[in-house]
Each structure stands twice: as structure tokens, then as C-alpha cells.
Structure 1
Amino acid sequence: MQNENFILSGLPYERITIEAFENEASQIAKEFNDAKDGEEQFLAHKKYYALMAKVRTAMILAGMRHDGDVSNEFYEAEQEYYDEISPKIQSFEVKYQKMLYNSKYRTYLESKIGQVTFKDIEIQLKAFNDVLISLKQEENALTSRYNKLIAQTKVEFKGETLNLSLLGKYIHSKDRKTRIEASKIRSEKLLTIADELDEIFDKLVANRNAQAKSMKYDNYVELGYYIMGRNSYDKNDVANFRNQVKKYFVPFASRMHEERRKRLGLEKLDYVDENVYFAEGNPIPVGTADDIFAAGKKMYSELSPETKEFFDFMLKHELFDVLGRPNKTTGGYMDMLQLYKAPIIFANFNGTSGDVDVITHECGHAFQGFVTRNDEIVEHNNITSETAEVHSMSMEFFTERWMDLFFGERADDYREMHLEDAIAFIPYGCMIDEFQEIVYTKPELSPAQRRDVWKQLEKEYKPHLAFKYDAFYGDGRTWQMQKHVYNWPFYYIDYCLAQTCALQFKALMDENYQGAWQKYYAFCLQSAKDYFPNMLHNVGLRSPFEDGFMEELVEKIKL
């Protein structure tokens, strides 16, 4: 690490220009090509690591500060600049990876950086070439436009000016009348931007379809899977998984929702009740944001020596930006500042249980990044997203023992809600995935036809749900508030795959907590050194793609 005394807010930022990048990149490429043996090529490759660490750190800092205040003109300009040049950087990366892949010293390089790396390169070469640069630039501009639109969408409610994240405390209110009022206010506001949401997505579908055609693929589904870096499963495996969910998991989830309906004393569950689990309201954290972090510090200090070191590091270097602000973009994420070997976490505290989820879910990502940050081989941390989400979703369950610190006497309510929420999520995530597969297989669909597709999928995956009080969501538009659909096509199914693995870890920890933790920690340390199904098998878990998997999982879940 360059500076052990850094803090996130004080980190220096300087734009990485495309000219400076290309000069340094071309020199590395020359050294690689001129190398006399595998070791010399590996030394050049380490210079490539350093260059990309510098570039990615700058881009992440700019992006995070832009997300933190979308009205900041300086960082908006920086984001626009990176939207323009990132495809050119990707162009160099692909050309460099091709040199690596075709190296006459490949056997030596495989011994240094692993065979999985070369499978990943093979996929990357199928995901990009220079013909896509202008289309990627347009795609970046469209997703940035969407993100800014959502971030700047505000409502007036109960005397407050609130963005969509901050409105969440009323959307999840224990008082159904308040939920209905908040939902109607949100719906009315979202309907004013509905045409723009349709327009942006229409252009994204056309753009991504053009990308696929430029790469000689039938449609964007194939290209999208390559972009996601899927190195051990394909769309047929995912379709099999979704079909298992429809057959075994949707009926299971529907029974759970029926029990929730009775618990809430309602005749029918409506969308306004979708995230409410108790008549007295969902459990909310006791205390302030500072109290949440104090509880997190105690929790991670007791969970394991490794988690104590991790959380202390995060606090020392102020690697959290989690307080909600009016011009802050919605959502949350974790990323790695490679130059500093430091995870960072971005989120929006809003007074709901989601604030604690940041300290568990996002910290699950960050913990894995922290414990593998010193691996000299950067490719070992090129984790595919389904693997990354196992780290985060499983950490949510491992930390449940300490929920008394966050929720006091309602800790058991939180645990019950968390399990039910995990169950409810899997059909929803599969619905998002199937929707995207249909949309990109049929790019000619109109906005209205896409909404009809969504409505049909809702009947299959969420038959319990009504939309009496929300005109926006009731019009087949729920997916338009799911940022992944606009920003990261085909990512969402990875959450579902990971959730089933997290539920496997939960079943293990119910039997032997310490044994389950050791398996989880071993899974984290594997990082990206092997393929996803292999890494699961290595720690005694089943792959979600196996026949009979979902039926067995349903039997293990204890509600």
C-alpha cells in the first residue's frame, strides 16, 4: 500500500488522460513482446497490473464522488470523460489479453497466473473488439443518463424533500395508510418520467442489439453472457435453474407469503405491502448511524480475528460513504481501490433495516476483497459476480447472531424477516433474468409489449401480488426501478444463484456454526482461482445447476 495513513475522503484525485494511458500501455506491450522468456513477460505483466490499478482507482474515485453528489459539476465532467474513454481502455485490455493468450511462453504464464485466467481471456475476446467502441460510448452515456435521472427524482412528502432512497422509510411504514400515501406520491412522480425511462431503455436495447450484430451474434443474450464473464455455465443452465425455481420454489414462497398475509391481517397482499413483514412494522435499527458502526465493530471483533482486522481497517481509513443525501444516487455497492489495496462501501442509510444490511452484505464483499488483497496475481481476484454475491449474502446469515446489537428486543423479528426476504427474492430475481432474456431475444418489442411481458412473468413468479394502490408499478414497470436492468444486463440472476448458496451455508451453520464459518472463509480465499461449481464442491456445497438441487434446498429451509 502506498500510504497506510490514507482516508477515503482525503484521497487525491487526478484525471487519467487517454493519452497518458496509451503511452504507458504501449510501452508495456512492447516490453511484453520483446521479452526473451516467460519470466520477463511476467515482469512486464506486473507493470500492466500497476497501470490498471492506477487507472481503475482514479475511475472508481471519480465515479463514487459523482454518485455521492450528482449535482457536482467537476465529477460529472470526470464521469462523462471516463464514459467516453473507457471503451478505448477496454480496447487496449483486450489486445493485451490477446497477446497474453497467444504467448509462446504461455505454459510458464499459466503456472504463474492460473489456467482459469486463460479461460477468462478466451471469453473476454468474445465480448469485445474495437468495432464496439462507439456503441459502448453511447451505452455509457445512456446508463449515466438513467442513473442521474433516478438520483435527481425527488418527492415532497410530510414536509420533506426526499429522493427515492430516503422515501423508503415511509414506503416501509408500519402504518398502511402511510405506505399507500407514500406509494401514490412515488407513483405519481415516476409516471412523470415514465416516457423518458422507456426512451432510455429503448435506446439501450437497440444499442446492445447492434453490439451483438457487430460481433456476429444472433442477439445480445450470447454477448451479454460473455460480457458477464461466465466461464462455467450458460443460458441453458440458467434456464434449468429458473425452471426448478418455478416448480419447487415459487409454491414454497407463495405459502410463506400467505402466512405473511395472515400475520399482517390483510385480505390480499398488495405491492405497498411487499416489503412489510409484521403488523407492528418491520424492525428498525436502534440508535444512530454511529451506533450502527459501533455495533458493527463489536460484532466483527467477536466473529473472527480476520473480521476484526478487516472492520478496524475500514473504520480507520473511513472507507464508508453511507449517509443519505438529496443529490446522492440510489443503491449501494462495494468496490476495490486497487492502488491502496482497500475496499470501499457506498450506500444510502434511510432508517430502515437496510442500513444494517450494508454492514453485513456490502461488508461481505469487502471482507473477501480485504483477505485476498495482497495476492500478487490480480487475476485471482477477477471474481465472477455469482461468486462475489455468495460472499455477501452468506455474511448476512453469519452475522445474524449479533442482531440484538442492532435491533434490541426485535432481533428475532429481524432474523425471521431476513430469511423470508431471502426466500421472496429468488423468484423476483429469476423474473428479472427471464424478462431480460425475452427482451434481448426480441429487441423489436415496443415499450408497451415489454410491460406486457413483465405482467405475464409476475403471474408466474409472484402470483400472490396485487397492485391496487400503485399505478406505476402496476403497469408492468417494476423492472424500471431495478438499476441492474439498465446498467448491468444479466447480472441479476447471479444474486439468485448466490442466495441459494447462502441458504446452504445457513443450513450448515444451524448444525455447526464454526465448521460452517471455516468453510465460508475457505470459499472466500479461493477467490477466482477455480470455477464456481468447483469452488462450491471444494467446501461441501452443491451447485445450483444440479438437477434436484432446488427440491432438496426447499426441504432444508426451516421457516
Structure 2
Amino acid sequence: MNFNEVPYTRPDAEAVMAQVRQGAADLQAAKDGDAAVAVANRVTDLLNDTMSQSMYTEIRHTVDTRDAFYAQENEFWNEFQPQLANAEVDYLKAVLASPFREALETVYPKPYFLKAEDQMKTNKPEVVALQQKANALSSEYTKLIASAQLDFNGQTYTLAQIGPLRDDADRATRKAANDAYWGFFAAHEAEFDRIYDEMVKTRTEIARKLGFKDFAEMSYVFMDRFDYDEDMVATYRHEVQTKVVPLVQAQRAKQAKRLGLDHLAYYDLGVQFKSGNATPEGTADELVEAARQMYHEMSPESGAFFDHMVQSNLLELLAKPGKASGGYATFIPAIESPFIFANFNGTSDDVDVLTHEAGHAFQTYLAQWIRPGDCVFPTFEAAEIFSMSMEFIAYPWMQSFFGTQTPKYKYAHLQAALEFLPYGILVDHFQHQVYTHPDWTPAARKAEWRRLEKLYNPDKDFSDNADLERGIWWMRQGHIFEAPFYYIDYTIAQVVAYQFWKRFNVDHDETAWQDYMTMAKAGGSKTLLELIALGHLRSPFEAGALDDTLTAVKAQLDSVDDSQL
């Protein structure tokens, strides 16, 4: 299979919705379990194929947002997806009401039924037009980010391409590169403000029409947060603020000392060592070959997986003009394959992609036995366990990517994971504040971001940049625009992934890989806490779980003489 040759066909929207509604009627009329299963299989095949066509569009549109054909198809899907979700509601009602639940469970895993209940609460005809508007606004943000052309030192860069210069070992260079990067956001601040203001108002209207107090309350339903609630998250936020933030500040003091600085400016935070950060050695092709060797040595299953990704052209890795920012992994049911999208730019992030996004992809590769395509991945926070854990599982092979710089990479990576926890909480807390105060002006939102930033990231000194001091940092965080409330998931997963880090790299636990594989194969057939139990891990919401994790990480960082790196 060559992904580049996989054909895309726009579905007949009315015909697809009619078939889904017919499925609902046929399921209600089913006389026995066999008849119910036949209907379920038919509808699942239809939705899997339809979902796959949507994914072909998303992938090809994000690879080149300037492609007129896929830009047009993206607009079609922005309109059609809310309509299809609404059409699915009748079918989901029939599934939940079916007297043949036991038979249907041979097709649908337990979380499918839980998701069905949530989808019925978040999809109604009266909000379809609003959902379409939210989708269009999200696409507008994507295009705005992708349009960035930064003139710097006589060359033109995208936001991703200028990344290495923002962390350059030369302080003057990195300050100037950061000025260019943030200058784009400042120059387009009014556009970002308008897009987000419309998003907040649109999403708030959706929530209220669906009977929720606000969009923040609704988020626990549309994000399928089955195993925890807002009170547990509030406690978790407090734990991070009081226990992790002080550890990060201690690490920042060590970083400043390594760099020979009295204090760190915001443009210094990404530079860990005076000699510069660890950078991968080799071309993109050589990094992919190193990854192939790593996954073959890791296990037969991971080796076969990565061969499939390379041979089938399922890796889109290089940063280039017109390409959407960031990285992602997705699973395409029609071809039973994952796909990885990234923006290689010559930094350690390139290797992180080959572990993080490959962790996602490997999990779906193992879980492709699950029939409904949207259940191959588990829920968001559970899905991130596999990607973040894979970053740590890959530690023994980092020599192949970084050579003599490997100790620098491992130290910086472990510290970065620690630093990420407060930032991830900040993004979630900010969104909670915004959507519980939907009438705030853009200026009020930026002021709130800066207030929370000082709480969770007090190490950020913006005295050299009035725009960041005013609170525009969040505008570069695509999740806030495109995937609201999808962020605390990373922090929950990080705490769990640290447990795998300890089992693989400190305890050398021989059962760790099998536990990881067992969890990955289970995928979306289990809820978050069920997966954690399956892997013999502790819940991040459990008393003491965070303490144990932080103790182990601090001990590891303190054991390294960072002045020698």
C-alpha cells in the first residue's frame, strides 16, 4: 500500500446520513442478536469509510494548506461533520435501547456505549449550524498560522522552521529570532483575538442550547472524561502548583548557572546548555533509519509496525511553506493504518516526534482489531500515555540519534517533561476561566493568561517583550483554538508515563514492555483507569501518586553533574 496513491472520494452527504438513519430503523426492528449485529457491522463499515475520507482530506490539507482542492474539501467536511454527528444520534439511541446489548458488545467495546451517551448530549439539530461555524473558525486559525513567512537574517522561515534559531546557543541570535517569531503574533493579534472571541461566543451558545451552564461544564462530556470530574481536576491542579512549580524553579536556577546568567529571560528558557542544546546527528532519512533500527531492536511487533509506516509512505515529516504547524498521529480505518504528520526542523523535537507520535501510531497499529474506527484510540488522556511513555522507553537508543550529546538530551528531556506539567495545567486552567467568563473582552482574557502564567510559570520574564507581558503567549497554542480543553490530558498522561520511565530506566522491570503492549492493544476498549490498572500502574488522581513520581524524577536529575554537560 502506498498512501500517496490512496484515492479520496467525497461522500454523498445525504446518502450517508440516510443510511445511518436507516441503520437506526433496522436496529430497532431487529428480531434477534444476529440481526442486530448485522446492522451494527453495516453501519460501522459505513462510518469507518466515511471517517477515512475525512482523514484523507485533513492530512492532505494540513500538508499543504495552499492546495485549492483540499482546501475546498476541508470546507465540505467542516459543514458535513456536524450534520453527520447529528444523524448518528438516532442510531446511537437505537444502540443504547436495543434489547440485544450483549450481542452488540461483540461489535462495540464498553467505551463505545459510554461515548454514545455523551454524544447524545452534545449533538442536536439546533446546534449544527453553530458547530459548522466553530469548525470554520478553527480552519481560519490553521490557515493564519500556516501563512507565517518570517524574514530573518536575509532568509524566510515558517514558524516551525525558525525554531532552531529561537534556541540558538548565541544569546543575541535567539533573542532576535524570538522577536521575529512573536512579532508575527503581535502583528496579527487583532485577527487572533477576533477568531478566538467568535469561538468563545459560538461554543458558549452551543453549550447553553444543549442545556449546560457553560462550555467548561460541557467539556467533561464532549471530552469523554469517564473516570474523573471537575473537583478531581481542581485538586490535581493544586498539587501541580504547590509541588511541581517549586521543583521547576530549582531546575531553572541550575539552568541559569549552567548558562552563566544572573537570571533567565524568556528567550533563554529553551536553551539548556552554554554549548547549545543537543541536536540530532544526521539527515531526516538517517533519523528515520535510526528509528527503524530502534523499533526492530525494541520488539518484533514494533519493528513490523515501523517498516509498514516507512514502506507505505505513512510519514510526512519535513517542515515546508504552506504546511500546517505542529504534529499529530491519526488512524485511518479504511486502510487499517496510522499516519504521522510532523515538522522536522533540525532540533531534538525531530527525535521526539519519532518517539511521541510513533507511540500513538504503534498503539493504534496494535489495536486495529477494534471495529469502530473511533475506538481504536482510547480517550484523549489515555491515548497520550502511549506517546509520552514511548519517549522514555526509547532512552536506551538515543545514542543512535545524538551520539556524544546523548547525556545532554536525556537530562534536558527529563527536565522538559517536568517543566511541562505546570504549563499544561496553565493551558487547561486558562480555558476553564475563559469559558466560565464568556463575556470577557480580548484584553481581559490576555490579562487572565498573564495572571495564571505568573502562578504556574513564574520563571517567564517578559521584561524584554511588551507583547508577551500583555499576555499573547497562548495564541501560539493551537489546542486552545482547534481542540478546546484537550490539554490537561497531556499532563495526566505525563504523570503515568513517568511511572513507565522509572520501570524501564531505573528499575529495569522486565514486565514493563508487556504491560505497555497489553495496554496498547486494549486501546479504546477500556477506559483510562481500566487501562492504568491493566498496566499495573497507579492513577494520577490517587493520593501520593504524584509525590512518588516527583521524588524519582528529582533524584535522577540531582544525580547528574549538569555543569559537565
TM-score by length of 2: 0.95
More moved, 243-252 vs 17-26: 17-26
- Structure 2: how far apart are the matches of 1:379 and 1:281? 42
* Residues 1-38 of structure 1: per-residue CA shift (max 9 Å, x gap): xxxxx211111111113123124323433332332112
Q: Secondary structure at the match of 1:113?
A: coil
The CA deviation at 1:132 is 1.1
Q: 2:512 aligns with which of 497, 510, 516?
A: 516
The CA deviation at 1:471 is 3.5
Q: Contact 2:24/2:91 (CA < 8 Å) preserved in 1?
A: yes
Q: Corresponding residue for 1:547?
A: 543
Q: Secondary structure at the match of 1:527?
A: helix
Q: Contact 1:169/1:350 (CA < 8 Å) preserved in 2?
A: yes
Task: Read off the aligned partner of 1:363 and give its amino acid letter.
Answer: A
Q: Contact 1:183/1:470 (CA < 8 Å) preserved in 2?
A: no
Task: Read off the aligned partner of 1:60 and give its amino acid letter.
Answer: M
Q: Corresponding residue for 2:438?
A: 443
Alpha carbons of structure 1 residues 382 and 521: separation in structure 2 relative to 1, 3 Å: closer
Alpha carbons of structure 1 residues 239 and 88: separation in structure 2 relative to 1, 3 Å: same
- Structure 1: how far apart are the matches of 2:372 and 2:188? 46
Matches within 5 A, 1:363-402: 363-376=358-371, 378=373, 380-402=375-397
Q: Corresponding residue for 1:491?
A: 486
Q: Corresponding residue for 1:274?
A: 269
The CA deviation at 1:377 is 5.6
Q: Corresponding residue for 1:64?
A: 59
Q: Secondary structure at the match of 2:169?
A: coil
Q: Contact 2:241/2:456 (CA < 8 Å) preserved in 1?
A: yes
* Residues 110-132 of structure 1: per-residue CA shift (max 9 Å, x gap): 46534333222222222221211
Task: Read off the aligned partner of 1:255 and give its amino acid letter.
Answer: A
- Structure 2: how far apart are the matches of 1:113 and 1:86? 21
Task: Tell me whether 1:105 sits opposite 2:100 in the alignment.
Answer: yes
Task: Read off the aligned partner of 2:482 and give its amino acid letter.
Answer: N
Matches within 5 A, 1:420-431: 420-431=415-426
Q: Secondary structure at the match of 2:542?
A: coil
Q: 2:195 aligns with which of 163, 177, 200?
A: 200
More moved, 91-100 vs 485-494: 91-100
* Residues 265-286 of structure 1: per-residue CA shift (max 9 Å, x gap): 1111121112211111111111
The CA deviation at 1:217 is 1.1
The CA deviation at 1:459 is 1.4
Task: Tell me whether 1:87 sits opposite 2:82 in the alignment.
Answer: yes
Q: Contact 2:389/2:498 (CA < 8 Å) preserved in 1?
A: yes
Q: Corresponding residue for 1:356?
A: 351
Q: How many residues align?
A: 554
Task: Read off the aligned partner of 2:141 and give its amino acid letter.
Answer: Y
- Structure 2: how far apart are the matches of 1:417 and 1:517? 24
Q: Contact 2:24/2:90 (CA < 8 Å) preserved in 1?
A: no
Q: Contact 2:378/2:526 (CA < 8 Å) preserved in 1?
A: no
Q: Corresponding residue for 2:531?
A: 535
Q: Contact 2:40/2:107 (CA < 8 Å) preserved in 1?
A: no
The CA deviation at 1:193 is 0.4
Task: Read off the aligned partner of 2:350 and give its amino acid letter.
Answer: D
More moved, 311-320 vs 12-21: 12-21
- RMSD in angstroms over aligned alpha carbons? 1.4
Matches within 5 A, 1:221-370: 221-370=216-365
- Structure 2: how far apart are the matches of 1:498 and 1:472? 32
Task: Read off the aligned partner of 1:260 and give its amino acid letter.
Answer: Q
Matches within 5 A, 1:166-205: 166-205=161-200
Matches within 5 A, 1:139-178: 139-178=134-173
Any unmatched runs of 5+ in structure 2?
A: 558-565
Q: Secondary structure at the match of 2:511?
A: helix
The CA deviation at 1:551 is 2.0
Q: Corresponding residue for 2:32?
A: 37
* Residues 82-105 of structure 1: per-residue CA shift (max 9 Å, x gap): 101111011122221111011122
The CA deviation at 1:172 is 1.5
Identity, in percent, stands at 36
Task: Read off the aligned partner of 1:91 and give its amino acid letter.
Answer: N
- Structure 2: how far apart are the matches of 1:513 and 1:361? 21
Matches within 5 A, 1:448-463: 448-463=443-458
Q: Contact 1:249/1:550 (CA < 8 Å) preserved in 2?
A: no
Q: Corresponding residue for 2:3?
A: 8
Q: Contact 2:185/2:475 (CA < 8 Å) preserved in 1?
A: no
Q: Secondary structure at the match of 1:121?
A: helix
TM-score by length of 1: 0.97
